Amino acid sequence: MNNLVAFLRERRNLPKVRVKASAVLEAFGETAPEALVGRRLPVPAEGGTVEYRISEYLIQQDAFVVMRVSDVARPDLVAFLNARYDEEEAQADVAAQHQKPDWSCPATCVVDLGEDLLSIDDREVAYHIVLHDPARVLAEVEANRRTLDLHFIQSGTGGTWDTDPPAICNECGTPHPCETVRLRGLPHADHEDYRQEWKP
């Protein structure tokens, strides 16, 4: 634990750092990365204590993103998108449990949800509802997550995302968030946590 605390203290001016998974797992005495997401770690600092939170596990890079708790409320675009995908997945799962994953339109203006039939006055609206059934939403969430995995950050020396050289997209070779990730954010531009600087 002392090595991890020392690592974070050296980078205490940065709101977010990337740490090798092995170092964090060893510090907490854990073997499963998923068990550490959300865990907090107080780091002694001048004038008090700075609290950090393990906010994300990067599978492709086998590393954790560790953020100051004061900055967790201001996520980067990838964290913002993952939060939206988690919400969409949860809503689709609930809908699938109450009805069924695959909806159909067996008759004009009638949507078969599995357990219930939904009558709609407009046939095109009925088809639109069927097109966005839980199975489709879950497939889109998975595709979007895999896109983010492809366009992960290739950081500079020290494993941080906020120092020189700038964060670079591993897939595009351009500054991160790259155009692809920014485009993924557009459908959520009306969300209260969306930031205007994320627009492509």
User: Tens digits of per-residue pLDDT, 156-180?
Assistant: 433 444 434 456 788 888 888 889 9
Same domain, 181 and 111: yes
Same domain, 63 and 117: no
Same domain, 87 and 184: yes
> Following DSSP, what letter does each residue of 36-94 receive, concatenated?
TTT-EEEEEETTEEEEEEEEEEETTTTEEEEEEHHHHTS--HHHHHHHHHHHHHHHHHH
DSSP state letter for 168:
E
Domain that holds residue 30: 2-72
For residue 47, the domain's CATH number is 2.40.240
Question: Is residue 1 pLDDT above 70, yes or no?
Answer: no
Same domain, 68 and 163: no
- Tell me the mean pLDDT in the region 43-72: 78
- Tell me the mean pLDDT in the region 53-82: 78
Most confidently modeled range among 43-57, 132-146, 152-166:
132-146
pLDDT at 81: 93
The two three-digit tokens of residue 92, written as one number: 């689709």
Question: Is residue 2 pLDDT above 70, yes or no?
Answer: yes
Q: How large is the C-alpha radius of gyration of the chain?
A: 21
Same domain, 194 and 99: yes
- Which domain-ending residue is among 31, 53, 72? 72
Each residue's pLDDT tens digit, 14-32: 778 888 889 889 888 888 8
- Tell me the mean pLDDT in the region 37-47: 79
Each residue's pLDDT tens digit, 82-130: 999 999 999 888 888 867 777 777 766 666 666 676 777 667 777 777 7
Sheet holding 16-20, edge to edge: 16-20, 63-68, 48-58, 40-45
Tell me whether strands 110-112 and 104-107 are parallel, antiparallel or unpaired. antiparallel
Percent over 70 (pLDDT), the chain: 79
Same domain, 54 and 122: no
Do 16 and 65 contact (CB within 8 A), yes or no?
Answer: yes
User: Distance between CA 11 and CA 119 in Å, rounded?
Assistant: 59
The two three-digit tokens of residue 4, written as one number: 């991890």
Same domain, 55 and 87: no
Q: How many domains does the chain have?
A: 2
- Which domain-ending residue is among 72, 90, 125? 72
Direct distance between the N- and C-terminal alpha carbons of the chain, in angstroms, rounded to an integer? 40
Same domain, 183 and 136: yes
Same domain, 120 and 134: yes
